[in-house]
Structure 1
Amino acid sequence: MPSSLAGKVIFITGAASGIGRSTAIKLHGLGAVLVLTDINEPGLAETLALCGGGGGGTPTPSSHSTFALDVSDPEAVDRVVAAAAARHGRLDHVFNCAGINPTAAALTATSVAYFDRLVGANLKGVFNVTKATAPHVAAPGGSYVNVSSISGWNPTAGTAVYCATKFAVVGFSKCMALELGPAGVRVNVVAPGYIDTPTNAGIARGTPEARLAMEQGNALGRMGTPADVADVVAFLMSDGARYMNGSVVQVDGMLKT
């Protein structure tokens, strides 16, 4: 059976590594046309190569495209979205994956610069991309998938700013589900747990003991993989999730309490 995502144009932020890259590879395999964006240009080029290199030759609306993008910069987001929409003619789905993982620190040791950096990427970035892409997303039938975290409802000491951004993504997404739903555009959230990605290295693999604690604290006895999340993202964009709107899907293997 052909994939319901075949030929769909999908805008992805944070595509240079981890969950963003794995999702791009998954969607490429399903026949989607990808707009890959990230602040990390070398990583972005690697992702494009893993997704068939964009088709080679002169770019066409049916070949993948890449754009260097800092999602915290609204003017840059507007330029990239306009260029992507002009090249591909429309956007069908948006995956807001760009973000920064936390560095554990007490609130009293947290700088304003750190606050601005996390809020800029994790929350303002979702706002910027959603606002810019909304006029171009196919309606009905389009969708957004935004990345929160298990920290979006399960606060932990030392990660106040990160938790605040991830709580906010859930609230923002549910409001957008109400605003865009009448046009037939869905907005859902994935909330990953401990996922084995490069950006989690400092948290999950700082010491063997830390990694073991994460594995033993999970009902499935392991950390998640980017592919575990990518499969859920692809489902949420597909026709199989056509009546899911405003949902928050945990992808965490079930943490032990």
Structure 2
Amino acid sequence: MSSNLSGKVILLTGAASGIGRGTAIKLNSLGAILAITDVNEPALAETLTLCSGGSNSEHHTAHTLDVSNSADVEERVAQVVTKYGHIDHVFNCAGVNPTAMSLTETSEAYFDKLVSVNLKGMFNVTKATIPHMIAPGGSYVNVSSISGWNPDAGTAVYCATKFGVIGFSKCMALELGPKGIRVNIVAPGYINTPTNAGIVRGTPEARRRMEQGNALGRMGTPEDIAGVVAFLMSDEARYMNGSVVGVDGMLIT
């Protein structure tokens, strides 16, 4: 896998923490050239530092980016293309995790925030990058969730966005496949990241319930997802298009 990702220009959103940061570190270790983005500039700078030392790390760049703002996306993508000339792969990872609440407690502002980042943000980045993708050979890996097919009471808006990510991605796989550009989806389960506090609720009891409800007896890690993302971008996954890959350790129902 390392040979066919080495030197590839990869744009990542949501790279300041969690799955995005873990995937940036993994791709750096495989010799990719990274354009990492996030709204959190200080944490993004930390990710850039953690990606030092790779064979192409001197070529990495970091850009603050609000994926929900189409003008901001267009400007940042233009900067990336000006520097590198093209994009080989895109990792659409930027997202807002859910806060468990009933629909009657859910505000319009909360609805707008999740939809604008989780769904519209992916639309903005995909639309802006398509003209600059290597074809054939380019790919998108988009982050959905096990909530993209497994509804859960108290997370209606989040589930709606993650169901939407799968539908959007499959349509893009049909649209871009004839150009030789693949689109695949990774669907993480419960991953131990700082932004999952709204699900875990910060209590040891809630964490234990999650671990006991998983066949592997633990929550996932960003590294568990990063390896799958790297595979989906590689030539080993060259006939995977429109696939939804669950990475959840197998929930016990």
Give me the TM-score of the superposition, normalised by structure 1. Answer: 0.96
Runs of 5+ in structure 1 lacking a partner?
Answer: none
Runs of 5+ in structure 2 lacking a partner?
Answer: none
Q: In the alignment, what sits opposite 1:5?
A: 5
For residues 121 and 198 of structure 2, what CA distance do their matches in structure 1 show? 23
For residues 200 and 249 of structure 2, what CA distance do their matches in structure 1 show? 15
Q: Deviations over 1:177-213 (max 9, x none)?
A: 0000000000000000000001013322521110000
The DSSP-based 3-state class of the residue aligned with 2:4 is coil
Match of residue 211, structure 2, among 212, 215, 229: 215
For residues 173 and 129 of structure 1, what CA distance do their matches in structure 2 show? 12
Q: In the alignment, what sits opposite 1:104?
A: 100
- Asked if the contact 1:170–1:248 (Cα under 8 Å) also holds between the matched residues in 2, the reply is yes
Q: In the alignment, what sits opposite 1:136?
A: 132
For residues 115 and 241 of structure 2, what CA distance do their matches in structure 1 show? 25
Q: In the alignment, what sits opposite 1:194?
A: 190
- Asked if the contact 2:100–2:198 (Cα under 8 Å) also holds between the matched residues in 1, the reply is no
Match of residue 227, structure 2, among 211, 217, 231: 231
RMSD: 1.6
Q: In the alignment, what sits opposite 2:45?
A: 45
| One-letter identity of the residue aligned with 2:89 | H
Q: In the alignment, what sits opposite 1:16?
A: 16
- Asked if the contact 1:14–1:37 (Cα under 8 Å) also holds between the matched residues in 2, the reply is yes
For residues 115 and 242 of structure 1, what CA distance do their matches in structure 2 show? 36
Q: In the alignment, what sits opposite 1:155?
A: 151
For residues 105 and 62 of structure 1, what CA distance do their matches in structure 2 show? 44
Alpha-carbon distance, 1:176 to partner = 0.1
Alpha-carbon distance, 1:53 to partner = 7.6
Q: How does 1:32-111 map to 2 (within 5 A)?
A: 32-52=32-52, 63-111=59-107
Alpha-carbon distance, 1:61 to partner = 11
The DSSP-based 3-state class of the residue aligned with 2:127 is helix
CA 74–216 in structure 1, closer or farther in 2 if over 3 Å, else same: same
For residues 229 and 197 of structure 2, what CA distance do their matches in structure 1 show? 22
The DSSP-based 3-state class of the residue aligned with 2:176 is helix
- Asked if the contact 1:54–1:63 (Cα under 8 Å) also holds between the matched residues in 2, the reply is no
Alpha-carbon distance, 1:109 to partner = 1.1
| One-letter identity of the residue aligned with 1:142 | G
Q: Sequence identity of aligned pairs in percent? A: 74
Q: In the alignment, what sits opposite 1:246?
A: 242
CA 38–179 in structure 1, closer or farther in 2 if over 3 Å, else same: same
Q: In the alignment, what sits opposite 1:27?
A: 27
The DSSP-based 3-state class of the residue aligned with 2:125 is helix
For residues 2 and 102 of structure 1, what CA distance do their matches in structure 2 show? 34
For residues 133 and 167 of structure 1, what CA distance do their matches in structure 2 show? 22
- Asked if the contact 2:28–2:57 (Cα under 8 Å) also holds between the matched residues in 1, the reply is no
The DSSP-based 3-state class of the residue aligned with 1:35 is strand
Number of aligned residues: 253
